[in-house]
Structure 1
Amino acid sequence: MDPREAAQYGNVERLQQLLDIGAITPDWTDSDDCSLLHWAAINNRLHVAELLLRRHANVNAVGGVLASTPLHWAARQGHVQMVAFLVTNGFTPLHVAAQFGATPVVGYLIARGQSVDAPDESRITPAMWAAAKDVFLVSSSRSSPTLITLGADVNKSDATYHNTPLHWAATNGNLLL
């Protein structure tokens, strides 16, 4: 079993063995520059992630065709426990969670103090990403919290085109707004 497969399938013993004999480092990557922590995160292998971080793996490693971190991978899949673990050891992927409609992850991050209007480097907020992707911004269900009900400012605009979430929704065909 190669290192990637060991991380994917949660074979902690195999990874421990490979690390102990020096066959791999905690930051080993595959041909797409995906680290072992990426594979643990997307497959929700918490024990693998714990092992790798004890061995000082880079929690912010960027890899894959989307140039994402392990936290992004976990957020996209809605793995709340993995996100919670990685958040305590890295940064917060609120934008990615909002973009992919990972409602439990968005709720967790906001409950942990992440700003519902946290901008990225282009001043794009989670509400803008959600509007563009037609997820989690508004809901027909009274029981489902949304970014708007959580206090997102729908008048904020991005740095490039000065678009608000409404512009993002219209541009991407999101008719729910």
Structure 2
Amino acid sequence: MHEVLKAAQNGNLDYFLDRISDDRFLDFVLTISHQKSGDTVLHYAARHGHLQLLKFLVDNGLNIELGNFDGKRALHEAAQYGQLDCLKYILSCDVNVDSLKRADWTPLMLACTKDNLEIIQVLISKGSSLTLRNKDGWNCFHLAVREGHLPIIDYLYKQDPTIWRNVSKNGRTPLHTAAIHGHTDVVSYLLSHCQYGIDEQDSCGSTPFMDAVRVEAIDIAKLLLNKQKVRVNTEDKLGRQAIHVAAQSGAMRSINYLIHDCSVSPDVRCSSNKATALHIAAKEGHVTVMLCLLKYGADIDAIDSRGRTALHIAAGAQHADCVHVLLKNGAQCRIDDTGTSPMELAKKSNVVEIFESLENT
């Protein structure tokens, strides 16, 4: 890093005062930026909260709206890093409070990724928009929900009671986001204050309940089931229900919850290909999930729409440990609809050896 940028990062005002009498120095400062990020002395001063240096630089002709390679300005830096005094000063310079950096992020959006309500309050008091969305379709509320900062969520909601209606470009609501990030208190707040429909689906057909199950957020799954009366058998675009989603992600606690507490059958089928949760766990190599399903009586030889058993799937995916578990628990080497046996799908030596050892017994 150039010494000029280091001086700005450290808030070394004397460094600049000692050189400002040389007209060429100021011209030089105007040309200096970080090689990779394009950050200028203004970015460093704002990011690290060096207010006096920031004022000095602006008073000596530096444009407070200078952007780096991502389009970030000093205002973005002060907002993101919670530098309140610098933020207030920059806003007094008649800047664009909703200037966009790359991916259409405003200073307010960046502030909403941090736990600093006062920064957000100042930006909104200066006219920052609550409705602008970034390239992914997320607004500031969506971002605050992702971070789980309830006081900020409550403040934004009170500024605009319709803000929760935002849906991202892939169809996800803030409720989806709160669920998949495991923010139980936020999910409770959203269900109490916002009128989300039951089992709202994103572009892949996933519901907030599925997202909660995926990350083993059991408290959230229970909250959605009890308070919103969601359905455990809703299907996504691939015909999968919650138990299949849990099997794919290796969420054993969710498997236990769905079967034991929600009375979901371990053998429920995906409507698209008739696969069971055991097929899916075998494909992903989740041995503990497979053992859990078998403990609940899953049909070890259930076939999908192509006549394949979980053993076919495990062998085809070269998951030796899954093949071992299935064979140990009595899985049969049946032929699928193409006339292929699980043994013929084995390619890796450790998988082949398991089948060969079976033949020799």
Give the TM bin, normalised by the shorter chain.
0.7 to 0.9
How far residue 162 of structure 1 moved from its aligned partner, in angstroms, is 3.0
Structure with more relative contact order (C-alpha pairs < 8 Å, separation 6 or more): 1
Asked if 1:108 is matched to 2:178, the reply is: no
How far residue 42 of structure 1 moved from its aligned partner, in angstroms, is 1.3
* Correspondence for 2:79: 7
CA displacement 1:58-93 (0-9 Å, x = unmatched)? 3243338x6643223222221001111223322251
How far residue 103 of structure 1 moved from its aligned partner, in angstroms, is 0.9
Q: 1:120 to 1:59 in 2, by over 3 A?
A: farther
Distance, in Å, in 1 between the alignment partners of 2:153 and 2:191 is: 13
Q: Is the 8 A contact 2:199 2:209 kept in 1?
A: no
Q: 1:136 to 1:54 in 2, by over 3 A?
A: farther
* Correspondence for 1:70: 140
Which letter maps to 1:146? L
How far residue 116 of structure 1 moved from its aligned partner, in angstroms, is 7.0
Q: Is the 8 A contact 2:187 2:220 kept in 1?
A: no
Q: 1:3 to 1:152 in 2, by over 3 A?
A: same
* Correspondence for 1:45: 116
Structure whose residues are more often helix by fraction: 2
Q: 1:63 to 1:115 in 2, by over 3 A?
A: closer
* Unpaired runs of at least 5, structure 1: 140-144
Instruction: Report how many aligned residue pairs link the two structures.
Output: 169
Asked if 1:91 is matched to 2:138, the reply is: no
CA displacement 1:19-78 (0-9 Å, x = unmatched)? 3322x31212334533211221111222222222233323243338x6643223222221
Q: 1:48 to 1:59 in 2, by over 3 A?
A: same
Distance, in Å, in 2 between the alignment partners of 1:84 and 1:136 is: 24
Moved over 6 A (4+): none
Q: TM-score, normalised by structure 1?
A: 0.78
Which residue, out of 149, 154, 158, partners 2:232? 154
* Unpaired runs of at least 5, structure 2: 1-45, 47-73, 166-173, 256-361
Q: TM-score, normalised by structure 2?
A: 0.41
How far residue 156 of structure 1 moved from its aligned partner, in angstroms, is 2.0
Which residue, out of 229, 245, 249, partners 1:168? 245
Q: 1:107 to 1:28 in 2, by over 3 A?
A: same
Which letter maps to 2:180? Q
* Correspondence for 2:132: 61
Q: 1:137 to 1:127 in 2, by over 3 A?
A: farther
Choose 1 or 2 for highest CA Rg. 2
Distance, in Å, in 1 between the alignment partners of 2:178 and 2:113 is: 13
Which letter maps to 1:154? V
Task: Provide the alpha-carbon RMSD of the alignment.
Answer: 2.7
Amino-acid identity (%): 27
CA displacement 1:109-155 (0-9 Å, x = unmatched)? 1122443735144343210111222224678xxxxx53333332212
